[in-house]
Structure 1
Amino acid sequence: MSSIIPKETFTFLKKLAKNNDREWFNQHKPEFKTIEAQVKDAYNYLGELMTAHDKIEKVKIFRIYRDVRFSKNKLPYKTHFGGSFSRKKPELRGGYYLHIQPNNESFIATGFWQPSKEDLLRIRKEFEMDDSDIREILKSTTFKNTWGNFVGDELKTAPKGFDKTHPAIDLIRRKQFIFTKTYTDKEVLSDNFLNNVNEAFKDIRPYFDYMSDVLTTNLNGESLL
């Protein structure tokens, strides 16, 4: 199992970006399959590291082929590798994502991309009732240094049924609850990159523990499982 992202990954993806068509890709498919296997090894290696501090149910590496059916962009191939790491459901909530792309566009992301209508309301109700715990997590020095603050979509005003003057309205109006961290090409190709990603994922744990508790209980703190 590979513990590094091979430098050939970026070399191939840069060439693919300049030759994003089926003829070129088919001619270079053996090269791609070799690189893909090494990248999958690296993702699985990271998944193994993560089992030391979380219950990872599944590692999924997404296909290079783009679904162009409903997209204006008809280029057939992605110019990056992406993969997710799923936590054990239903008791553990949240997810991890690793994105490998040349030209310093690699990043990791964690959190809640598309919470269901029910989960979104439950989170907002929690923040409305008491935002002290989430504020404490967000202002932790370790957490801030690794992840910064929330990114993602939010409403311009209060969601229906919520007071726009509420002290936690900055949290309540969010539609996504995600964090991202970017990496340079040099960092991605370094020997300790996957270990650094693992440490960053470990630092998200207080947030995941909090959100898992919120999403598996009602507003009285009674378990829903």
Structure 2
Amino acid sequence: MTINKAFSKDLLNFLKEIKENNQREWFNEHKVEYKKLESDAQQNLNTLFEALKTHDDVDKVKMFRIYRDVRFSKNKAPYKTHFSGSFRRKKPELRGGYYLHIQPNNESFIAVGFWEPSKEDLMRIRKELEMDDEEIRSIINAKDFKAIWGDFTGEELKTAPRGFDKEHKAMDLIRKKQYIFTKSFTDQQVISSNFLDEVNRSFKACRPFFDYMSSVLTTDINGEPLI
């Protein structure tokens, strides 16, 4: 499936403007313009959702609201200065998620993986890596995968988690708190006609990683099914 669609330069310009005018009065004056851009962006997410369904079992697409939750933040600016959406894989048998982030000044990116694994899931992953890290390394170090996704990003501990040998050969993986890959895009790429196609191709390339993690997280330490 080929997608000849992209996000508009108008969306990037609007996000630049709201960064300079992050006030309710300005937003209300430009709300009609925003609603049109929001509708176009939602169509793009829906198009990408349909493309994802041709190679993965995704069951939900979500566009995040532009309104910020400022209740517990020192930054009281009411609006986000980026656009974002996510795509959920069918649970409980499939794990991991897809994320799309559009932000001007060459700060757009996509991400895949595990942002906030539960305490139980994180321990299960770490125990698997403690027993055998060869399979996941063969996946994430494969030439085609590496060319698109590079290396893991995300938070990690400075030392070994409690109960793990700090000298373990897989400690570089075990100490991670998140298992995320990201891919950056320039503004020019975001507005190019093949942008959504490139995003879809990149998402598809992460399937070996998702299949591995889903297998781990749906079995116990002995490999017995949990679902």
Q: Which of structures 1 and 2 has the larger relative contact order (alpha carbons within 8 angstroms, sep 6+)?
A: 2
Query: In the alignment, which residue of structure 1 is the partner of 2:202?
Result: 200
Q: Is the Cα contact below 8 Å between 1:2 and 1:45 reproduced in 2?
A: no
CA distance in 1, matches of 2:82, 2:64: 10
Match of 1:185 among 181, 184, 187: 187
Which residue of the other structure, out of 117, 125, 128, is the alignment partner of 1:126?
128
Separation of aligned partners in 1, 2:190 and 2:50: 18
Give the 3-state SS of the residue equivalent to 2:184 in structure 1: strand
CA distance in 2, matches of 1:146, 1:10: 24
Aligned pairs for 1:1-225 (under 5 A) are 3-225=5-227
Structure 1, unpaired ranges of 5+: none
Q: Tell me, in whole angstroms, the C-alpha distance in 1 between the residues paired with 2:35 and 2:110.
A: 24
For residues 69 and 3 of structure 1, what CA distance do their matches in structure 2 show? 37
Write the distance in 2 (CA, Å) between the matches of 1:32 and 1:198. Answer: 26
CA–CA distance in structure 2, aligned partners of residues 32 and 114 of structure 1:
31
RMSD: 1.1
Q: Which amino acid aligns with 2:125?
A: I
Give CA-to-partner distance per residue, 1:63-103, whole Å, 9 cap, x none.
Answer: 00000000111000001101000000000000000000110
- Which runs of structure 1 show a deviation greater than 2 angstroms over 4 or more consecutive aligned residues? 1-4
Q: Which amino acid aligns with 1:223?
A: P
- Residue deviations 1:30-52, cap 9 Å, x none? 00000000001001111111111
- Matches of 2:136 and 2:170 in 1, distance apart? 10
Q: How many residues align structurally? A: 225
User: Scaled by the length of structure 2, what TM-score is found?
Assistant: 0.98
1-structure distance, mates of 2:188, 2:213:
34
Q: Which amino acid aligns with 2:92?
A: P
AA aligned opposite 1:7: K
Q: Equivalents in 2 of 1:25, 1:194: separation in Å? A: 28
Q: Is the 8 A contact 2:4 2:193 kept in 1?
A: no
CA distance in structure 1 between the partners assigned to 2:164 and 2:111 by the alignment: 28
Counterpart AA for 1:145: A
**Residue 7 of structure 1, CA deviation:** 1.5
- Shift of the 182–129 alpha-carbon distance from structure 1 to 2, 3 Å rule, reads same
- Could you say what secondary structure the match of 1:32 adopts? helix
Q: Which runs of 5+ in 2 are unaligned?
A: none
Residues 4 and 196 in structure 2, CA contact (< 8 A), matched pair in contact too: no
The one-letter amino acid of 1:211's match is: M
Quote the Cα distance in structure 2 between the aligned partners of 1:217 and 1:180: 27
Asked if the contact 2:6–2:192 (Cα under 8 Å) also holds between the matched residues in 1, the reply is: yes
Q: How high is the TM-score relative to the length of structure 1?
A: 0.98
